[in-house]
Structure 1
């Protein structure tokens, strides 16, 4: 089994240590020759990288080399796989993304609604540049992109790189939900076979089978409505915000019992309730800054100070395991089935071919082979078409530097709806992002002065 050369872009991420522990846990399925971290923030990356050196020395002695750098050519040359997890603007801009909509009683969330639009408009340019850089230095590498908001990023990359068959956008949220399904059933998450359709952060499980073909969907629905639903993945299990989010699944299944929902649908189905529970001074971004970021940096500091992992508790989470299992299926042509984002091309029969849908696919060394979903009914089609129009308009706004397209996008989005409110939010977001969107900022001035 060939050992792979892996590059992790966004080496300073708070998810990186969990990713490393997942690579350790999965080293028999996805053996590595080298790991390289690449990040544009040297200080942020260094702390995570120094802790990682110690983890790998103790837990992955088979690895030939590990290093970290801010030099793109050094990092990206001779890669077999590149895992991408970047956040343009960092958590500081995420906090703006969440606070601004809340001023106008609209959902403030990093990937949904106005926050997702802002994050997406910042991410697209950096992702295009990064993919071009990877293709310059490692033209045959597999690129697995985790960067959010994945739906908007995937649409932009589809337009920019239509012929690139080794670029795959994925999200771990369906898998994190399935970890809880597995807990209900007393099974391992990778023993479950999902049937699913939708867009990223906007989809539904139609069935949950096991590898023997047994259908457990009704058992899961009954358990959710009778016993409640809790997050069980290590990264989110004790997080109050995620506990509340999983609690909302009970309501969604009660209101719309046909399918099992992605947790993010709460923002689109119950936007007023989502606004009511939020405090602009303690948004989710602030909770992450004071919670996961602080916890991970404290963990890294202790590992570095001790020179060992003996005094800390390190956990494997689905964020890393999911990406690694997908990569292994690509590398070794395993044909495993995972939920990923692909160009539709008839997969969902009554949606356009040129949209990025999220569906189960067999993962091979020739890329994902999606399973046909067929026609979807009016309720789901209507919701999806509105969200698709929003996503496409956001990407149009990026390429055209169009204030009008951005305003249309926000007005369409179910978390906003009201046109005057959409304009207020957009104007504030353009001002907050003027260093990231100078052309859109200029476009706004033109519109204002007309």
Structure 2
């Protein structure tokens, strides 16, 4: 089995140590020759990298090489796989993404609604530049992108790199939900085979089978509606915000019992209620800054100070394991089935071919082979088409530098709907993001006629 050379872009991420632990747990399935971290923030990366170096020394001694760098060419040359997890603007801008909508009575969330648009318009340019750089230094590398907001980023990359068959957009949220399904059933998450359709952070499980073909969907539905639903993945199991989010699944499954929902649908199905529950000064971004970020940095500091992992508790989470299992299936042509983002091309028969949909696919050395979903019911089709139009209009706004397209996108989004509110949010976000966004121009004819 060939050992792979892996590059992690965004090496300073608070998720990186979890990724390292996942690579260790999965080293028999996805053996590595080298790991390289690349980040533009030298200080942030150095702390995570030094801790990771100690972890790898103790738990992955057979790894031939580990290093970290801020030099793009040094990092990206001769890679087999590149895992991408960048956050343009950092948590500082995420906090603005969430506070600005909330000041207008609208959901403030990282990937949904106005916050998702703001983050997306910041991410597109950096992602395009990064993919071009990877292709310059490692033309044949697999790129697994899980940069948020994944739906908007995937749409932009589809337009920019239509012939790149080794560029895959992926999200671990369906897998994190399936960890809880597995807990209900007393099974390992990788023994489950999902049937699913939708867009990223906007989809539904239609069935949950096991590898023997047994259908456990009704059992899961009954357990959720009768006993409730809690996160079980190590990274989120004790997080109060995620606990509340998973509890909302019970309500969604009761209101719309056809299918099992992605947790993020709470923001679109109950937007007014979700906005009312949020508190300015303590949005999810602030909770991450005071919670996970502080916890991970404290953990890294202790590992570095002790020069050992003996005094800390390290956990493997689904975020890393899912990405690695997908990568392994492509590297070794395993044909395993995972939920990933692909261009529709008839997979969901009554959605546009150019939609970037999220569906189960067989992962092969030639890329994902999606399973046909067929026609979806009118209610779900209507929801998806509105969200899809929003996502595509955001990308239109980026390429056309169009204020009107951005305004149309926000007005369409179910978390906003009201056009004057959309305009007020957009104007505030333009001001907050002037360092990052492309300049959005108003249509001169419309301004003249106003």
Could you say which residue in structure 2 is the equivalent of 1:280?
280
Trace 1:35-434 onto structure 2 (pairs within 5 A): 35-434=35-434
State the partner residue of 2:23.
23
Question: 3-state SS of the aligned residue for 2:8?
Answer: strand
Equivalences, count: 449
Q: Is the 8 A contact 1:192 1:209 kept in 2?
A: yes
What is the rounded CA distance, in whole Å, between the counterparts of 2:126 and 2:114 in structure 1? 19
Change (3 A) 1:423 1:226: same
The CA distance in 1 between the partners of 2:38 and 2:311, in whole Å, is 28
Contact (CA 8 Å) 1:403, 1:447: kept in 2 or not? Answer: no
Shift of 1:268: 0.2
How far apart, in 2, do the equivalents of 1:448 and 1:288 lie? 41
Contact 2:124 2:156 in 1 (8 A): yes
Deviation per CA, 1:62-102: give whole Å up to 9, x if none: 10000000000000000000000000000000000000000
Q: Deviations over 1:94-126 (max 9, x none)?
A: 000000000111110000000000000000000
Q: Deviations over 1:148-195 (max 9, x none)?
A: 000000000000000000000000000000000000000000000000
In the TM superposition, residue 439 of structure 1 has moved relative to its aligned partner by 1.6
> Secondary structure of 2:95's match?
helix
* 3-state SS in 1 of match to 2:196: strand
What is the CA deviation profile of residues 33-69 of structure 1, one whole-angstrom value per residue up to 9, with x for unaligned ones?
A: 0000000000000000000000000000010000000
Task: Give the match for residue 14 of structure 2.
Answer: 14
Deviations 1:284-332 (A, max 9, x none): 0000000000000000000000000000000000000000000000000
Instruction: Report deviation, 1:438.
Output: 4.7
Q: TM-score, normalised by structure 2?
A: 0.99
- Cα distance in 2, alignment partners of residues 401 and 435 from structure 1: 15
Q: Which runs of 4+ in 1 moved over 3 A?
A: 442-450
- C-alpha distance in structure 2 between counterparts of 1:445 and 1:295, whole Å: 50
User: 1:395: Cα distance to partner?
Assistant: 0.1
Structure 1: give runs of 5+ residues left out of the alignment.
none
How far apart in 1 are the matches of 2:195 and 2:296?
34
Q: Distance in 2 between matches of 1:86 and 1:448?
A: 37
> Is the contact made by 1:362 and 1:370 (CA closer than 8 Å) also made in structure 2?
yes
Q: 8 Å contact 2:142–2:167 — kept in the other structure?
A: yes
| Cα distance in 1 for residues equivalent to 2:332 and 2:310 | 34
How far apart are 1:405 and its partner, in Å?
A: 0.2
1:399 shift after superposition: 0.3
Displacement of 1:4 in angstroms is 0.1
1:276 is displaced (CA, Å) by 1.0
Aligned 8 A contact 2:410 2:417 in 1: yes
Distance in 1, Cα, partners of 2:439 & 2:123: 15
Q: TM-score, normalised by structure 1?
A: 0.99
Can you give the 5+ residue segments of structure 2 that lack an aligned partner in the other structure? none
Determine if contact 2:117/2:394 at 8 Å carries over to the other structure.
yes
CA distance in 2, matches of 1:159, 1:303: 43
- Using the TM superposition, give the Cα deviation of residue 448 of structure 1 relative to its aligned residue in structure 2, in angstroms: 7.2
Q: CA 1:30–1:446 in 2, change beyond 3 Å: closer, same or farther?
A: farther
Specify whether residues 386 and 430 from structure 1 end up closer, same or farther in structure 2 by C-alpha distance, changes over 3 A only.
Answer: same
Separation of aligned partners in 2, 1:106 and 1:432: 17
Counterparts of 1:39 and 1:443, CA distance in 2: 35
Q: Distance in 1 between matches of 2:249 and 2:303?
A: 37
- In the alignment, the residues of structure 2 paired with residue 437 and residue 446 of structure 1 have an alpha-carbon distance, to the nearest angstrom, of 23
Structure 1: distance between partners of 2:262 and 2:216:
17
Cα distance, 1:63–1:99 mapped onto 2, change above 3 Å: same
Q: Contact 2:91/2:285 (CA < 8 Å) preserved in 1? A: yes
Conserved 8 A contact 2:197-2:358: yes
